[in-house]
């Protein structure tokens, strides 16, 4: 389970580093998503063990938060979570925070106990960026479905991260091709964004982003939208700049 976000000034303290509370919120969300995907039940956070802050994440860094289920009981499980900061242009990475979260499945008609045992960990395709998030009430319209603008924001962020990691340059969005929304995404569903670099030019990168919706309890997935973005490398003067090695 992986979540990647940017550290913006509003997320930082007077030192220009990520607030500890914001880091904990990212980690708890990833723990919840990892638990939900594993147990397919309504989970709540019961406890967090010692959380160690080893290094700061600075404004402008990307933060990558990963979670893995490491213990499963009858109705509870533990998720080990790490938060790593990454400098977008240099690619320098440093472990900032790690911790362990205990989540409990709420008993009810949709909860199947005991929880499933830990299975094999799937291999990760490092050529494709996969980001996971969740749809909360503030992101939905009066029909209870994700706003198109919020979906585009998620997809644009995924395109930016994929292009930046690919080119290791300062990237800005130059164009967004037609976006087709094929299925609504409802409140409480998991969203997965799959971003793939399709073309690299002298100073531009084309990224395809597919948006998938996933039912929290059943695991049913459906394609919700696809878009193509053109991202351009720029210099300090704001003009396009050739990508190194191209």
215: left (phi over 0), alpha (psi -120 to 50) or beta: beta
CA dihedral 62, 52, 95, 40 (to 10 degrees): -70
pLDDT by residue, tens only, the chain of 246 residues: 889 999 999 999 999 999 999 999 999 999 999 999 999 999 999 999 889 999 999 999 999 999 999 999 999 999 999 999 999 999 999 999 999 999 999 988 878 889 999 876 666 566 789 999 999 988 999 999 999 999 999 999 999 999 999 999 999 999 998 898 999 999 999 999 999 999 999 999 999 999 999 998 899 999 999 999 999 999 988 888 899 866
Supply φ then ψ for residue 95, to 5 degrees. -70, 120
Q: Do the beta carbons of residue 12 and residue 18 sit within 8 Å?
A: yes
Return the DSSP state at 113: S
- The span from the first CA to the last CA of the chain, in angstroms, equals 32
**What six digits make up the tokens of 33?**
């998503």
Distance separating alpha carbons of residues 220 and 20, to the nearest angstrom: 34
Say if residue 6 is exposed, middle or buried (CB neighbours under 10 Å; 0-12, 13-18, 19+).
middle
């Amino acid at each position: 389970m992986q979540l990647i976000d940017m550290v913006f000034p509003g997320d930082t303290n007077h030192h220009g580093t990520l607030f500890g509370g914001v880091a904990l919120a990212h980690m708890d969300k990833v723990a919840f998503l990892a638990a939900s995907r594993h147990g397919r039940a309504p989970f709540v956070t019961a406890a967090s063990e010692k959380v160690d802050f080893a290094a700061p994440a600075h404004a402008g860094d990307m933060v990558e938060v990963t979670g893995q289920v490491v213990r499963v009981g009858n109705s509870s499980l533990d998720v080990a979570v790490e938060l790593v900061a990454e400098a977008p242009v240099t690619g320098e990475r440093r472990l900032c925070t790690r911790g362990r979260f205990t989540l409990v499945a709420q008993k009810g008609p949709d909860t199947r106990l005991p929880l499933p045992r830990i299975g094999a960990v799937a291999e990760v395709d490092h050529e494709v960026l996969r980001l996971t998030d969740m749809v909360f009430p503030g992101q939905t319209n009066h029909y209870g479905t994700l706003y198109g603008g919020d979906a585009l924001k998620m997809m644009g962020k995924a395109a930016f991260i994929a292009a930046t990691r690919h080119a290791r340059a300062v990237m800005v969005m130059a164009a967004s091709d037609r976006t087709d929304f094929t299925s609504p995404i409802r409140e409480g569903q998991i969203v997965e964004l799959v971003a793939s670099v399709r073309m690299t030019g002298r100073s531009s990168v084309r990224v395809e982003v597919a948006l998938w919706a996933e039912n929290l309890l059943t695991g049913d997935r459906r394609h919700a939208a696809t878009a193509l973005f053109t991202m351009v490398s720029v210099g300090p003067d704001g003009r396009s700049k050739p990508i190194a090695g191209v």
